[in-house]
């Protein structure tokens, strides 16, 4: 449940920053969601593969670092978006057909 709230928070933050810079937020939201779940799954699998953790007894111990690393990846994504230059409004519609 907290994970959904965190993703919602980061999504709203990305949308705000992207709109300030005249960038489409959908690319950055997808990047956030994909890296969040990718990092989380990779961490869980790695911990189970490289340690002798038992899935029934140690699930909380395994999921907690996965959630922390997923949150770190979200902060990294937001940091990358903040480094993007601002797009002028004319450049935003550069692929539109001009008559």
What is the pLDDT, as a whole number, of residue 1? 72
Higher pLDDT, 77 or 52: 77
Q: Is the pLDDT of residue 93 over 60?
A: no
**Dihedral sign (CA 79, 84, 85, 87):** negative
Please tell me the predicted confidence (pLDDT) of residue 56.
84
Burial class of residue 19, CB neighbours in 10 A (0-12, 13-18, 19+): exposed
Q: Could you tell me if 87 and 22 are in contact, meaning their C-beta atoms sit under 8 angstroms apart?
A: yes
> Is the pLDDT assigned to residue 99 strictly greater than 80?
no
Which pTM value belongs to this model?
Answer: 0.78
Q: Summarize pLDDT for 8-40 with one digit per residue, the tens.
A: 999 999 999 999 999 999 999 999 999 999 999
């Amino acid at each position: 449940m907290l994970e959904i709230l965190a993703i919602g928070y980061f999504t709203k933050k990305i949308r705000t920053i992207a709109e300030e810079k005249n960038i489409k937020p959908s690319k950055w939201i997808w990047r956030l969601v994909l890296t969040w779940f990718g990092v989380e799954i990779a961490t869980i699998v790695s911990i189970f593969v490289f340690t002798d953790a038992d899935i029934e007894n140690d699930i909380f111990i395994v999921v907690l670092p996965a959630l922390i690393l997923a949150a770190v990846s979200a902060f990294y994504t937001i940091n990358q978006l903040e480094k993007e230059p601002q797009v002028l409004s004319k450049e935003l519609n550069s692929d539109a057909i001009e008559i």
